[in-house]
Structure 1
Amino acid sequence: MGKMAAAVGSVVSLAAEPGEDAFRKLFRFYRQSRPGTADLGAVIDFSAAQTGRGTEPGARKVIRSQLSVSSVSDHDARRAGLQPVSKWQAYGLQGYPGFIFIPNPFLPGYQWHWVKQCLKLYSQKPNVCNLDKHMTKEETQDLWEQSREFLRYKEVNKRRRRSLLEKLRWVTLGYHYNWDSKKYSADHYTPFPSDLAFLSEQVATACGFQGFRAEAGILNYYRLDSTLGIHVDRSELDHSKPLLSFSFGQSAIFLLGGLKRDEAPTAMFMHSGDIMVMSGFSRLLNHAVPRVLPSPQRGGLPCCLETPLPAILPRDSVVEPCSEEDWQVCTNYLKTARVNMTVRQVLAIDQDFPSEPTEENKRDITTEGSCHLGDENGQVKRAKLNSDS
């Protein structure tokens, strides 16, 4: 208890020091944190949450969030691989209205489908990915097929070069997000996956957002040394709709801050299967992922991923079977990685994209708030992550 109190005290003091912004200090603290030590004593774990009690001095209290239980039928929830909404646990944080955290509401085994989709299907062309900047379309045509033999025998040959899937950092779905202009564009639209759209619509509806349309998705693929820098998701043209986040694989630390970076963020764990919803006031808050945490069981997977997908699925399920061979590839990938899907509605009803700015205005576009999967310092870390080491 003494070590944990000391760790919490150091976190509080870091946030209170003058000079550098509080968010960045805590980002660096957790990036360098040591799993299994008191460094993580102030991190909220919603999978073991106790509502109404702060776990450390000055902590924001965990509160229960109300769901619209009757708005999603048990049948539709099961079609998406989810438990009945009545069985979900949903939480919020005092001081963060509109933030909802749902610890793993997936039915046992059904995460297998979504992991496989992220690695095998969603990574395929015509969807755009980070590798497209350095490789031809022919070279990135089927990342799964080019990588699966590498990953199947990953443990046998640890000195092999990284497969293309292991070099994957992001994929965009639906309206493509341009990392340079920080804008969405209809010019590079790809059909949004119907199964992911259905899953997202059920979650949004259960959280009280009727009529949510899944129009864009950004998939982030994390290695154990990956980070996601401090940023705000403000590029969508309709901020009244929520941002949905789905996590699979190794756990990570998520930091949720305020409107400005001088506000100290709250740290929380994201485990496999967890869903976060950012809406209302919390929709435009600073947030980041400073740390991916290796499984306590060296080279292992979270317990929730050890249960196989049922052999017999509902006839109208959007979830598809997953072969043992495919799951072996997914397993070897996830032993040192995590995948995150964020789904957004970009446009309001009857809204269109604005006309493109003139060349003169394009030169004035700021990069403030930009974010890449890698390191807060940008290019140097990304080059390291994309190496063959």
Structure 2
Amino acid sequence: MGKMAAAVGSVAMLATEPGEDAFRKLFRFYRQSLPGSADLGAVIDFSAAHAARGPEGPGFNSQSQLSVSSVSEHDAHRAGLQPVSKWRAYGLEGYPGFIFIPNPFLPGYQWHWVKQCLKLYSQKPNVCNLDKHMTKEETQDLWEQSKEFLRYKEVNKRGPRSLLEKLRWVTLGYHYNWDNKKYSADHYTPFPSDLAFLSEQVAAACGFQGFRAEAGILNYYRLDSTLGIHVDRSELDHSKPLLSFSFGQSAIFLLGGLKRDEAPTAMFMHSGDIMVMSGFSRLLNHAVPRVFPHPDGEGLPPCLETTLPADLPRDSLIEPCSTEDWQVCAAYLKTARVNMTVRQVLATDQDFPLEPMEETKRDITADGSCHRDDQSGPLKRARLNPDS
């Protein structure tokens, strides 16, 4: 208890010091923190509470808002999830609309989603960070170009990084443009049906019936990667939740306030964990300052030691994972984590606003004058940068 109290005291002191914003101070504090040290004493671990099935810890409480009847056991199983009745969801004091669900996946079923992120979702026509530096032909199939590197990574750890190991982000559905910080219908790619179904089941279980998965951002983290402080506000409909799925090595997630002078709450994200940001919590500052290596060196989290069952239901969206695919994914995740965030961009019957230049051209053609419609201005979003 002494070490935990000291850690909490240190965090509180950093958050109240004058000058630099409280969020950035704690971001730097946790970025430099060491695994197993007293620095992590103030970090909430929902998974530990879930495993213990004991009283809730300080600052968080068990939720009763899951809508068990909204998702059938059959549909949950199709997406690789346990029945919703077996999930345990948590909320945070002072963060209405935030829901944390410790790993609700069936044993072995996370491997499907890891394989999809590495093997399928990284393929063209989806856009990735490598496209700025390489041709489409060079990034056509990152999996095929990388799998042999990864399978024999343990033999030659000092070898050059494969393209998959250089991957930092991929966009699905409506593409998010990092330069102008907005979505565009001009760069739409078909949203994966299996990920859409998974997202819809999770959203429904959390009380959001009719959620549509229209855009996804996949972040690929190495052990030295971070996710900078930002707010997800580029979506034109903020009434719908943001869903986050984590796989691989554990990380710290910081959830702050509307302004950066509000100290964030730190929590662990483990493989299989799901976070839902809605309501008040939908537009809060958040970041990932640290990814932690496995305590025993290069290893997998215990929940990933179970392979995907060979006997899958006939109508399951989960696809078999070959031994070769499993080996490649396992080699990758020993020193990495993958995060999928899924969003609904537009409200029902809503369209993207016209660009100011397009609006200008239309007005000049129509009546020879030029004016700007204030309602057509695009919403902005802070840049997501796993390498910041």
Q: TM-score, normalised to structure 2's length?
A: 0.92
Maintained 8 Å contact 1:113/1:321: yes
- Percentage of pairs with the same residue: 85
Rounded to whole Å, the distance in 2 between the matches of 1:145 and 1:51 is 48
Partner of 2:275: 276
> Offset of 1:53 from its aligned partner?
3.6
8 Å contact 2:91–2:98 — kept in the other structure? yes
Matches within 5 A, 1:99-138: 99-138=98-137
Pairing of 1:134-149 with structure 2 (within 5 A): 134-149=133-148
2:348 is equivalent to residue 349 of structure 1: yes
Q: Distance in 2 between matches of 1:225 and 1:53?
A: 30
SS in 2 for 1:184: strand
Output the CA distance in 1 between the equivalents of 2:62 and 2:16.
25
By how many angstroms is 1:373 displaced? 1.2
Q: CA RMSD in A?
A: 1.6
Residue 6, structure 1, aligned to residue 19, structure 2? no
Whether the 8 Å CA contact 1:65–1:100 is kept in 2: the answer is no
Instruction: Return the alpha-carbon distance in structure 1 between the equivalents of residues 379 and 164 of structure 2.
Output: 31
What amino acid is the match of 1:67? L
The residue number in structure 2 matching 1:70 is: 69
1:127-174 CA-to-partner distances (Å, cap 9, x unmatched) read 000000000000000000000000000000111100000000000000
What is aligned with 2:23? 23
Deviations 1:331-350 (Å, cap 9, x if unpaired)? 00000000000000000000
Q: What is the match of residue 378 of structure 1? A: none
Partner residue of 1:288?
Answer: 287
Between the aligned partners of 1:368 and 1:123, the Cα distance in structure 2 is: 23
Any unmatched runs of 5+ in structure 1? 55-59, 376-389
In structure 1, distance between residues paired with 2:117 and 2:194: 12
The one-character-per-residue Cα deviations of 1:37-93 (angstroms, maximum 9, x if unpaired) are 111000000012255541xxxxx2334242000010000000000000000000001
Deviation at 1:358, TM superposition (A): 2.5
Amino acid at match of 1:326: D
Structure 2 counterpart of 1:372, which letter?
A: N
Amino acid at match of 1:340: N
Q: Give TM-score, length-normalised by structure 1.
A: 0.92
Superposed CA deviations along residues 198-247 of structure 1, whole A, max 9, x for unmatched, are: 00000000000000000000000000000000000000000000000000
- What pairs with 1:1-389 in structure 2 (closer than 5 Å)? 1-49=1-49, 51-54=55-58, 60-358=59-357, 369-375=382-388
Contact 1:63 1:93 in 2 (8 A): no
Distance 2:18 2:378 in 1: 31
**What amino acid is the match of 1:21?**
D
SS in 2 for 1:353: coil
- Aligned to 1:27, what secondary structure does the other structure show? helix
CA contact (8 A) 2:182 2:380 kept: no
- How many Å separate the matches in 2 of 1:61 and 1:79? 31
Residue 26 of structure 2 contacts residue 263 of structure 2 at CA under 8 Å; is this kept in 1? yes
Cα distance between partner residues in 2 of 1:69 and 1:166: 39
Distance 1:367 1:74 in 2: 39
Shift of 1:4: 2.2
Query: In structure 1, what is the Cα distance between the partners aligned to 2:64 and 2:16?
Result: 30
Q: Secondary structure at the match of 1:349?
A: coil
Superposition deviation, residue 124 in structure 1:
0.1
- Which segments of 5 or more consecutive residues in structure 2 lack a partner in the other structure? 361-371
Q: CA deviation at 1:368?
A: 7.3
User: CA separation in 2, counterparts of 1:243 and 1:372?
Assistant: 18
Letter in 1 for 2:136: K
SS at structure 2 position matched to 1:187? helix
Q: Deviations over 1:179-211 (max 9, x none)?
A: 011100010100000000000000000000000
